[in-house]
Structure 1
Amino acid sequence: MAFHFWKWLTGKTGEEPKPVTEGEFFDLATDLYIRELAFQSCVNLAGNALSKCEFKTFEGDVEKKGAEYYLWNIEPNQNQNSTAFLHKLVHQLYNTRTALVVDQGGKLYVADSYVRREYALYEDLFEQVTVGEFTFGRTFSQSEVLFFELTQENMRRITNGLYLSYGKLIAYGMKGYQKSRGEKGTMSLDVQMMSNADFRKRYEAIQNADFRRFAEAENAILPVYKGMDYTAISSKTYSADSTRDIRSMIDDVTDFTARGFGIPPALLNGSVQDVSSATDQLLTFCVDPLADNIQEEINRKRYGKAGYLRGNYLRVDTSAIKHIDLLSSSGNIDKLVSSGVVCINDIRGLLGQPLINEPWAWEHFITKNYATVEELLKALEGGETV
């Protein structure tokens, strides 16, 4: 396990782990945290967005809420709710490029590990499927599971490769910051005193211990013996520019990673300017393709061709991701209802309000202002008021 961790951490392959110094280990840990912060922030954002989606189920092209709806929106299995389940699914997808979901007794489980045997002209087989501490004692065929794939390239490997080159700039910036807070000086020594054994011992003590404590302490006194003269040639500088440069480079890593996910960088760095447009980009380039990928695999495996053509299918509705303010959207709501595009219950569902259990709430209305050209001409010829 340590060997694989070393390869993943450093991006090197075919090498045995080697001893590292305390400073090197700190640098590796720092690289890991910066890299993981950017990557996992993107994964969590995608998972949060997908968990807000509603998995709508249809029978004969009519929306119905049954066992399948409850499975995807409330409780996929006895140990997870839908939010935890979808977060694990997205985490597996982006970290390993693939994710496997097995159906056991009407419950859905995201596999933690498995062995895939690919066959070009036959169904792939999945062996040693493990969920938590449990390993299935059977082999699953492709038609028995839900197998999700993202792209042909592993997103984790791409972002790690990017950071290997950009991380050098961050390391250089950190070293520059450390140097700006350091202190240097010169020590003048009496040549005759250096021949004295006791003096050499005192000098080594000052050089190895006393001077280190003196340089690192906020307030300190450096003992200087006869024959020694210390002169400082530089002092600590506390410029904020160096720290802002480091912060900017770390933000660059986050921006690059976000672009790889199709996520607007503004949503990760906390910018509040034009959030609406950024959210639209998130839906268009990140969430919608992910939702299409998931619903296509569900429809082809759990409904099949015959069921889909009969109007039985599942659709991932991403409209609930974007927050809708009731007062600011009242004009648009009026237009949607008055044009007959949606009914009252459709609007209440989008707003997260309870549905009205009345027939009229499901009816579609069109105002009298709407009419065809022919109807308008007839009304004008007859002297009627449209």
Structure 2
Amino acid sequence: MFEFLWKRDKEIQSLAEIIAVDMEKLNLSKLAIEKAIMMIAKAIAKSDILIQTESKEKNKQEYRLNIQPNDHECGTVFWTEVVKRLLTAQEALIIPLGGKYYLASAWQVSNNVLTERNYSDITLTCAGYNYSIYKKFRSSEVIHLKYDNARIRLYLQNVVGQYDRTLDAVNAMMRMSSMPRFKLKLGTSALSFREKQKDGTDKIMTKDQYVKKIKNLLESDELAVLTESDSVSVDQLQINTGVKAEELAKTALQINNEVANAFDIPEAVFNGNITEKSDATNEFITYAVGPVAEVINDTLTAYIVGEADYCAKDEKVMVWLARFKHVDVVDSAVNLDKLRGIGFNYDEIRGMVGYPLLNTEFSQARALTKNYGEEGNGNVAEEN
């Protein structure tokens, strides 16, 4: 009679183990995805956005792009949120209003193919608050970033699917454990049982009859006392499952590597195993950050510069990723000296390493030869 409880015991234990492992995997995946997204977002946010144009509004536009896109957010926070949305939702919409930039959290867009699309029902998100605007915009009036990375999309879909499967297991667990469950242990010698009757005689009971009696006692609302012998005992099922620390560490490493591969981040960079001679940081910029930066470059160039100036004057907008990587001026002194020798001025070199510009005639003079003579100096020695 109680055999179904033993089977349910195994089912519950199995489900509990699945849920425990899956919940740990989901937590680790969530942390790893957030880490990967923030690594790329911070790299973009730390870099400068340069506008190579002759426009008189250049300084004002660069200020808005880099320092304060709107009255309530700094450039770092703004671009971090933009890139996070671009990586998770595969698109991000920036609305320019009055020379300022705002990130949209929701919008409707038409499906035009041969003409400009229209954007409506736009909700802006700024410094933690939402604001709905009812003005309609054309494609040329907004900055719509799109980044379709199949591996990121598939990995995020797998994580969502894992959430669904875990919820199904939790629901099944709740249904199975909604009522208390007990285990009745019977020894090999307990094939028959004796029950004392009111008249003092003994009644022989079979195993099934004894199980039924125990079940009635457990279901009764009245106070009852169960007696146990050496070969018979009743225990309530206790479900205690967990994941060992060693297994958790292996799972965490496996998930970290999967997320790193999905976001094209070198495993050494993601796991913090960069050696002194490693090129992992350069690979991170090239394969993980570079494609996202290119999407921003192209979209901002189309909106700010436009086709005419791009074709006629070679003007463009670019995320300068050189500012993201730390440069030790002592270790790089020889290479920086070579840059000076091929025509870079001091201000340009200081800007590359994050130093403030001098903006003097001396710092903006260029060396045209290996002897570092200035422009127009007739005493410059000829190059060998």
Structure 1 unaligned residues grouped into runs of 5+: 1-20, 169-185, 208-222, 231-239, 371-378
1:97–1:154 Cα contact (<8 Å) kept: no
Distance across 2 between alignment mates of 1:43 and 1:313: 26
Q: 1:226 aligns with which of 192, 210, 229?
A: 229
* Aligned amino acid, residue 341 of structure 2: S
Alignment match, 2:142: 145
Alignment match, 1:50: 44
1:175-186 alignment, distance < 5 Å? none
Q: 1:144 to 1:385 in 2, by over 3 A?
A: closer
Q: CA deviation at 1:145?
A: 0.3
Q: CA deviation at 1:129?
A: 1.1
Residue by residue over 1:245-276, the C-alpha shift from the partner in whole angstroms, topping out at 9 and shown as x without a partner, is 44223322221222222211211112132575
Alignment match, 1:91: 84
Q: 1:100 aligns with which of 93, 99, 103?
A: 93
Alignment match, 1:233: none
Q: 1:306 to 1:42 in 2, by over 3 A?
A: same
Q: 1:350 aligns with which of 345, 349, 352?
A: 352
1:363 aligns with 2:353: no
Q: CA deviation at 1:194?
A: 4.9
1:18-167 alignment, distance < 5 Å? 29-60=23-54, 66-132=59-125, 133-151=130-148, 153=150, 155-161=152-158
Alignment match, 2:303: 301
Q: 1:291 aligns with which of 279, 284, 293?
A: 293
* Aligned amino acid, residue 40 of structure 1: E
Q: 1:301 to 1:39 in 2, by over 3 A?
A: same
Residue by residue over 1:324-348, the C-alpha shift from the partner in whole angstroms, topping out at 9 and shown as x without a partner, is 11221112222221233x2211121
> Which deviates further from its counterpart, 282-291 or 30-39?
30-39
Alignment match, 1:15: none
Question: Alpha carbon RMSD of aligned pairs, Å?
Answer: 4.4
1:181-260 alignment, distance < 5 Å? 188=187, 191=190, 194-196=193-195, 225-228=228-231, 243-260=245-262
Q: 1:197 to 1:306 in 2, by over 3 A?
A: farther
Once the two structures are aligned, what percentage of the paired residues are identical? Answer: 22
Structure with the higher helix share, 1 or 2 = 1
Q: 1:193 to 1:146 in 2, by over 3 A?
A: same
**Secondary structure of the residue that 2:287 maps to in structure 1?**
helix
Distance across 2 between alignment mates of 1:137 and 1:296: 28
- Structure number, greater radius of gyration: 2
1:313 aligns with 2:316: yes
Residue by residue over 1:42-63, the C-alpha shift from the partner in whole angstroms, topping out at 9 and shown as x without a partner, is 110000100111111233399x
Q: CA deviation at 1:301?
A: 1.3
Q: CA deviation at 1:144?
A: 0.8
* Aligned amino acid, residue 83 of structure 1: T
Q: 1:244 to 1:191 in 2, by over 3 A?
A: closer
Q: CA deviation at 1:193?
A: 8.0
Q: CA deviation at 1:150?
A: 0.8
Alignment match, 1:4: none
Residue by residue over 1:221-247, the C-alpha shift from the partner in whole angstroms, topping out at 9 and shown as x without a partner, is xx99533379xxxxxxxxx9x643442
Alignment match, 1:218: none
Q: 1:74 to 1:195 in 2, by over 3 A?
A: farther
Residue by residue over 1:295-318, the C-alpha shift from the partner in whole angstroms, topping out at 9 and shown as x without a partner, is 111111122112323354322111
Q: TM-score w.r.t. structure 1 length?
A: 0.69
1:93–1:149 Cα contact (<8 Å) kept: yes
**Secondary structure of the residue that 1:360 maps to in structure 2?**
coil
1:61–1:311 Cα contact (<8 Å) kept: no
Distance across 2 between alignment mates of 1:140 and 1:146: 11
Distance across 2 between alignment mates of 1:162 and 1:267: 22
Distance across 2 between alignment mates of 1:257 and 1:104: 37
Distance across 2 between alignment mates of 1:246 and 1:29: 11
2:43–2:289 Cα contact (<8 Å) kept: yes
Q: 1:327 aligns with which of 307, 327, 330?
A: 330
Residue by residue over 1:188-208, the C-alpha shift from the partner in whole angstroms, topping out at 9 and shown as x without a partner, is 37627855499989988xx9x
1:339–1:367 Cα contact (<8 Å) kept: yes
